[in-house]
Amino acid sequence: MSLDWAGAWQALIHHPLFGIGITLAAYQLSLAAYERTRWVFLQPVLVSMLLVILVLLACNIDFPEYRASVQTLTVLLGPTTVALAVPLFLNLRRIRQLFWPILVTLLVGGVAATGLGVLLAWLFGGEHLMLMSLLPKSVTSPIAMLVADQIGGIAALAAVFVMITGVLGAICGPAVLRLCGVRHPAAQGMALGITAHAVGTSRALQEGEECGAFAALGMSLMGVASAVLLPLLMALIV
């Protein structure tokens, strides 16, 4: 009796649940690795991403097929973003006490985070299209994709830069902050949220609830400010 191994293999890797399966498995593996070693380079998002890409390449599955099969997971990103309102609300009193520091940090820091990236890329000789896709790198990806599109960049490329920035921020952020002597959880949270959006916020939640709340605050303020101001600014300059 001969079994149809090739057919079974094709049915397995093209099943609508295959993408979810490898994502869940990769995430749990990398989470276990991170918890065992506590090594900063083993950020769960980064390691899972690499594992999933390896599996997809090995099975010859392209990104659109993977994206379609994990739709059930990504659709939850919306309600999860909304859920950030809960830690924000629970820390509202502390946030109100720090109103002026937050406002000044958001304006000065947001401009610095956005401007520095483009300035450096321009100095290093990046193309116009690249620069426009780099501009919203510190903003949460749905906003970044919208903004890049409006100012003449590529939305998907912007999403990639956003993810790279977020993962880098989660890896290096807390260490950089410790080196600079930033001890206040609010200051750590704001720095992670403004520069590294959702990935930075999920890293900040690991540091503590107050840190996470300020990261969520920094992320949403930065998102709203960029969404409104960047297209306006670009329209004025160009």
Partner 1 sequence: MLLRGLTWLVFFQLLGTVLNVLLLPMLPGPIIGLVLLLVFLKLRGEVGEPLQQAASSLLRYLPLLLVPPAVGVMAYAKDIAADFWAVMGSLILSLLLAVAFIGWLMQKLIDRQARHRSEP
Nearest distance from residue 55's CB to partner 1, in Å?
10
Q: Which residues from 30-49 bind partner 1, rule CB under 8 A?
A: 31, 44-46, 48-49
CB nearer partner 1, residue 11 or residue 180: 180
Q: Which residues from 138-197 bind partner 1, rule CB under 8 A?
A: 138, 140-143, 146-147, 150, 154, 156-157, 159-161, 163-169, 172-173, 176-177, 179-184, 186-188, 190-192, 194-196
In single-letter form, the type of residue at position 98 comes to L
Question: What secondary structure, in 3-state letters, does 41-103 show?
Answer: CCCHHHHHHHHHHHHHHHHCCCHHHHHHHCHHHHCCHHHHHHHCHHHHHHCHHHHHHCHHHHH
Nearest distance from residue 120's CB to partner 1, in Å?
4
Binding residue for partner 1 (CB under 8 A) from 201, 210, 211, 215? 201
CB nearer partner 1, residue 18 or residue 220: 220
Taking the C-alpha atoms of residue 91 and residue 82, their distance in angstroms, rounded to an integer, is 16
CB nearer partner 1, residue 18 or residue 205: 205
Nearest distance from residue 172's CB to partner 1, in Å?
6
Q: Which two tokens stand for residue 165?
A: 């920035």
Would you count residue 81 as binding partner 1 (CB under 8 A)? yes
In single-letter form, the type of residue at position 99 comes to F
Residue 151 near residue 135 (C-beta atoms within 8 A): yes
Q: Which residues from 85-124 bind partner 1, rule CB under 8 A?
A: 85-90, 92, 98, 100-102, 104-105, 108-109, 112-113, 116-121, 123-124
Taking the C-alpha atoms of residue 145 and residue 156, their distance in angstroms, rounded to an integer, is 7
| Residue closest to 158 by CA, chosen among 173, 146, 170 | 146
